[in-house]
Amino acid sequence: MAKPPIGDFLRDCTTRDDTFTGLDPDQLYGLYVSWCALGQRRPVTDVTFRTELARLNIHPAIVSDRLVYPGLAMIGPAATDYIVHSSPDPLDEGGIPA
């Protein structure tokens, strides 16, 4: 079986920003799933994704009492897609749509 294109995902969707705390594992995987959806790719499981990150020597750390991938920040269209689709629906909060 071919290795999942996690390196391509990282190049397309993340940047290093040492002023940024980092993305937590759920955020990074959610961004990956958005990238897959936009590119009509089948995402690997969360476990496989994290295994591939470790193979690429990308490891989470505890920063300010949170488990994050330090310095990783979202960029690109998948970031927009992830943010839009992970934001709470105002109707779920009892709000009125804009």
Looking at the chain, the whole-number percentage of residues with pLDDT higher than 90 is: 78
pLDDT in tens, 42-86: 999 999 999 999 999 999 999 999 999 999 999 999 999 999 988
In a domain, 11, yes or no: yes
In a domain, 73, yes or no: yes
Total domains in the fold of the chain: 1
Residue 7 pLDDT grade (very low, low, confident, very high; cuts 50, 70, 90): very high
CATH number at residue 44: 1.10.10
Which two tokens mark 7? 């390196």
Asked if 62 and 19 touch (Cβ cutoff 8 Å), the reply is no
Radius of gyration of the chain (CA): 15
Domain of residue 24: give its range: 6-85
In a domain, 98, yes or no: no
Residue 87 pLDDT grade (very low, low, confident, very high; cuts 50, 70, 90): confident
Q: Residue-wise over 42-68: b if at least 16 C-beta within 10 A, else e?
A: ebbeeeebbebbeeeebebeeeeeeeb
